[in-house]
């Protein structure tokens, strides 16, 4: 398990423990979204699609950018589609993938409300911290 996966796993566990009174399916949808992002390749694909914007990218272009075989990429993209983080559409013979910004906004909002509630400010990132 890589560091990102372990960190997301701990975050999901904290959300579940701290939010047992969540109304509706918002908790389940957030956990599904975080689980879908808990892969280096899926996170890289999502990042590339966000950078590309609403027009999205073809599966072929994504495979080139990420240097992944089409079969592996297809699996990762399916996970992101099922979680509602990206959408898939056809343009002729190509499959185009684009980010679902409204869904991403809901995930971020949920995390801010439920994981950062009561915090006056978030701590600064510890990039390049020395021991």
The domain segmentation of the chain, as residue ranges, is 3-115
Tell me the residue ranges of DSSP E strands in 9-120: 57-58, 86-91, 94-99
Cβ-contact 40, 4 below 8 angstroms: yes
pTM above 0.75, yes or no: no
* Third-level CATH fold of 3-115: Arc Repressor Mutant, subunit A (1.10.10)
List per-residue pLDDT tens for the chain, 131 residues long: 455 555 555 555 454 445 455 556 888 899 999 999 999 999 999 999 999 999 999 999 999 999 999 999 999 999 999 999 999 999 999 999 999 999 999 999 988 888 776 565 666 655 554 43
């Amino acid at each position: 398990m890589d560091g990102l996966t372990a960190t997301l796993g701990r975050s999901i566990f904290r959300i579940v423990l701290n939010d047992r009174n969540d109304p509706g399916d918002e908790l389940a949808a957030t956990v599904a979204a975080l689980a879908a992002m808990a892969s280096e390749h899926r996170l890289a694909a999502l990042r590339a699609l966000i950078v590309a914007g609403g027009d999205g990218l073809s599966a072929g272009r994504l495979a080139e950018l990420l240097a992944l075989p089409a079969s592996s990429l297809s699996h990762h993209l399916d996970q992101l589609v099922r979680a509602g983080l990206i959408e898939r559409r056809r343009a002729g013979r190509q499959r185009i993938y684009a980010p679902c910004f409204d869904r991403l906004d809901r995930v971020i909002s949920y995390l801010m409300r439920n994981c950062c509630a009561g915090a006056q400010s978030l701590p600064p990132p510890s990039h390049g911290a020395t021991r």
